[in-house]
C-alpha cells in the first residue's frame, strides 16, 4: 500500500506538472493558417521506424541469454564502446546546451 506521504508527494508533483504546463503554454499568435500535410516527411518517418524495428528484430534473434544481451555477445571492441560513450556525451551536451542557450538568450 502506498503511504500517505507518497500520495501527497505524488499529488503535489502532478499538480505542479499541470500548472507548469499551463504556464509554459505560449502566447496567442493571432491569426494562423493550417499547412498542408507533408506526406513525404510522414513516409520518411515511417521508413525510419520500419528499418529501426527490423534491426531490433534481427538483433534480438541473435541474443540467446541475458549475458549475451548485457555484453553484446562479447563482440564490442574498446573503440566501439568509446564511440558509443562519446556519442552519448555529445548528445546529452547538445540537448542540454541548446536548451540552456534558449533559456538564457531567448528563442530568436
CA distance 63 to 69: 6
Cβ neighbours of 8 (radius 10 Å): 10
pLDDT at residue 93 in the model: 86
**Cβ neighbours of 69 (radius 10 Å):** 13
pLDDT at 53: 97
Query: What pLDDT, on the 0 to 100 scale, is given for residue 2?
Result: 74
**CA–CA separation, 44 vs 53, rounded Å?**
14
Q: How much is the pLDDT for 48? A: 97
Q: Give the per-residue pLDDT at 10.
A: 85
Q: Please tell me the predicted confidence (pLDDT) of residue 43.
A: 98
pLDDT attached to residue 51: 98
The cell for 79 is 573503440
Locate 100 and state its grid cell: 540552456
CA distance 26 to 22: 9
pLDDT tens digits in sequence order for the chain, 108 residues long: 678 888 888 888 888 887 777 777 666 667 778 889 999 999 999 999 999 999 999 988 888 888 888 888 888 899 999 999 999 999 988 888 888 888 888 876
* Domain assignments of the chain as residue spans, ordered by start: 41-75, 77-108
Amino acid at each position: 500500500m502506498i503511504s500517505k506521504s507518497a500520495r501527497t508527494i505524488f499529488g503535489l508533483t502532478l499538480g505542479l506538472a499541470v500548472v507548469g504546463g499551463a504556464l509554459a503554454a505560449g502566447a496567442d499568435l493571432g491569426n494562423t493558417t493550417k499547412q498542408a500535410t507533408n506526406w513525404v516527411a510522414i513516409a520518411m518517418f515511417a521508413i525510419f521506424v520500419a528499418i529501426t524495428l527490423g534491426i531490433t528484430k534481427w538483433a534480438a534473434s541473435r541474443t540467446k541469454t541475458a549475458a549475451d544481451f548485457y555484453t553484446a555477445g562479447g563482440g564490442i571492441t574498446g573503440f566501439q564502446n568509446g564511440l558509443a560513450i562519446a556519442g552519448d556525451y555529445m548528445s546529452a551536451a547538445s540537448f542540454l546546451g541548446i536548451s540552456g542557450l534558449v533559456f538564457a538568450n531567448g528563442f530568436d
